[in-house]
Amino acid sequence: MNIKQWCSTNKLDVQINSNICTINNQKFLILERQEDENMFDQDFHLILTDQEQAILSQVDIEFVLYQFGNSWYYSSLSNFELTPFKYIGKEQDLIDIDFPFLGVHGEYELCNGSRLYSDWCKKAKFLNISSLGICEKNTLAGTLAFQQACTSAGIKPILGETVTVQHEDSTYQLKLFVVNEKGWRNLLNINAQIKVFNSGFVEQSYVLQKSEGLICVFSCSDLITESRYQLYKKAFSNRLYQQLDFVEWLAPDKEKKHLETLKHNINNYIDLIKPVIICDAYYLDQADSDIKPILNTIGKVDFQNTSKDQYFKSLNDVIDQAQPLFKSEVQYETIISLCIEHLNEINDTCNFKIKLGEMYLPKYEMSKEEREQFETNEDLFFHLIEEGLLRITKAESEEYLSRIEKEIEVIKLGGFIDYFLILWDIINWCKKNDILTGTGRGSAVGSLVSYLLEITQLDPIVYNLLFERFLNAGRVSKEVEEEIIIIQTQDGDIELDLKKKISIFRAGKKIEILAQELQLTDELINYK
């Protein structure tokens, strides 16, 4: 397939003049080689003809375009790359209508979805789609990676999940999209039911209970019943939609059932439940359809009812596919217009993003008896430390008091008081219920606070263990981290500017490193 045929097949809006291909004002030199001609020398440098050299000397060109196998790729002139010549610029003859795509099943839907989220974003840009929605089945594992990929590409991420709902002896599918933080927390709880408390499903009653902050979309693969509609309408109100997906199936029985379900849902609930076009996509292009059966085989999943049509569609693709299914042109145009209107309604409503760069620690909830005795969690924390000190014979020594003061300062700075109380509560409960606990492990045994709370069983002062291996001011405070690091040695504490270099011995060799690179296991020699 020559370059003109390739561009036409892949709907690339390009200009080709002689050996130069232009797209988005970017020029590519077309390298055309016969099968027996070499494109690279032994050092893997491009071999250019005299004509190609002449073109490069006259025209400002940064990339070359070449064929490898049955596909075309491009590369910079300086560093060879094997980058597919796809999703470049904008698709030819795009319909200029906002069309959020909410059917992404990507890399984290193991043995079913495929391709990196960055690839989905590239095609979204190519199709002039500004919003992508993830709806992977019974998993939120890829949510953060999806959000980051979309953000990097300038695409709005809409977070969601396809969940399996059980009611009595049957199951059905729902798509749930996140509106706000409350909805995100509710979706996390629903996902926990699927992953932890049940075997791949969530009870219908639980979904209805956790409806706040979520948009619900009935799957087009399941018949909508009156009782189900009434329950979900009460729970989700105007945040209730029904999915239309005009996918074609290879199995006649599956195809017939799908079309009958679509017809039933449209005819009976089009005026009650807002329709949206959500094309469940498990691969980027129709030509990639063989990926899904392979993944299903690896995952030992039944793929008898498979399709070559579950790809990332443009609005053009949807229109071409859906129009023949409607007898009336008026009905078709009305429903499609409603679907697009409702898609943009979801797009405008779902603006939640997972906050990054912040630490979210759990809060310790005091018991009724503790609340009667202590005003705050901090009061309880100090009370427990005092009790721990009373159990130690040498607790009143200057060494212990100085150490505990230093540790508490770091713990308060990092906001870890509740963290220690939760650990204390867990260990305390285990002991009361005759559950064996250990002496402690890792760097936590270097904490005197942990020892006083009986979280660990080793006195760090007796065994000369460093608290800084567990927590230090440089790790819990950005403000402090940008200034100094405290190194504890047998001769006392040393304060170092993080930007200063120090000399150390590591593996028997003297080296010089920045203070911020210092590992506390290193033997400090000198500093400057």
Residues 197 and 243 in one domain: yes
b/e map 388-421, b = 16+ CB within 10 Å = bbeebeebeeeebeebbebbbebbeebebbbebb
Q: 58 to each of 54, 190, 456, how far by Cα in Å?
A: 6, 62, 74
**Which uninterrupted H or E stretch holds 243?**
strand 240-244
User: From CA 367, how far away is CA 293, in angstroms rounded?
Assistant: 54
Which of 477, 504, 520 is the last residue before a domain boundary?
Answer: 477
The count of domains in the chain is: 4
Residues 465 and 490 in one domain: no
Residues 158 and 44 in one domain: no
pLDDT at res. 100: 96
pLDDT at res. 505: 62
Residues 412 and 434 in one domain: yes
User: From CA 188, how far away is CA 360, in angstroms rounded?
Assistant: 15
User: From CA 321, how far away is CA 315, in angstroms rounded?
Assistant: 10
Name the amino acid, one letter, at 503: S
Does residue 92 sit within a domain? Answer: no
Which of 293, 328, 349 is the last residue before a domain boundary?
Answer: 349
How confident is the model over 55-98, as pLDDT tens digits? Answer: 888 888 889 998 888 889 998 887 778 888 989 888 988 888 88
Residues 528 and 472 in one domain: no
Closest among 498, 490, 499, 470 to 406, alpha carbons compared: 470
Q: Which residues of the chain have pLDDT under 70?
A: 302-305, 393-396, 474-502, 504-528
pLDDT at res. 81: 81
How confident is the model over 328-386, as pLDDT tens digits? Answer: 888 899 999 999 999 999 999 999 999 987 777 889 999 999 999 999 999 999 999 99
Residues 319 and 178 in one domain: yes
Do residues 177 and 152 touch, judged by C-beta distance below 8 A?
no
Tokens representing 78 are 């300086």
Do residues 166 and 201 touch, judged by C-beta distance below 8 A?
yes
pLDDT at res. 37: 77
Return the number of other C-beta atoms located less than 10 Å from residue 188's C-beta. 14
b/e map 141-168, b = 16+ CB within 10 Å = ebbebbbebbeebebbbbbbbbbebbee
How confident is the model over 377-409, as pLDDT tens digits? Answer: 999 999 999 999 888 766 567 888 889 999 999
Give the range of the structural domain holding residue 321, as residue numbers without chain letter.
101-349
Count CA atoms closer than 13 A to 245's CA, side-chain side: 28
Residues 182 and 239 in one domain: yes
Does residue 326 sit within a domain? Answer: yes
Residues 342 and 367 in one domain: no
Residues 370 and 345 in one domain: no
Which of 325, 349, 373 is the last residue before a domain boundary?
Answer: 349
pLDDT at res. 441: 81
Residues 458 and 488 in one domain: no
H helices of 218-275, in order, are 226-236, 252-269
pLDDT at res. 511: 66
Residues 315 and 366 in one domain: no
pLDDT at res. 154: 94
pLDDT at res. 442: 87
Residues 436 and 510 in one domain: no
Dihedral sign, Cα of residue 499, residue 501, residue 502, residue 508:
positive
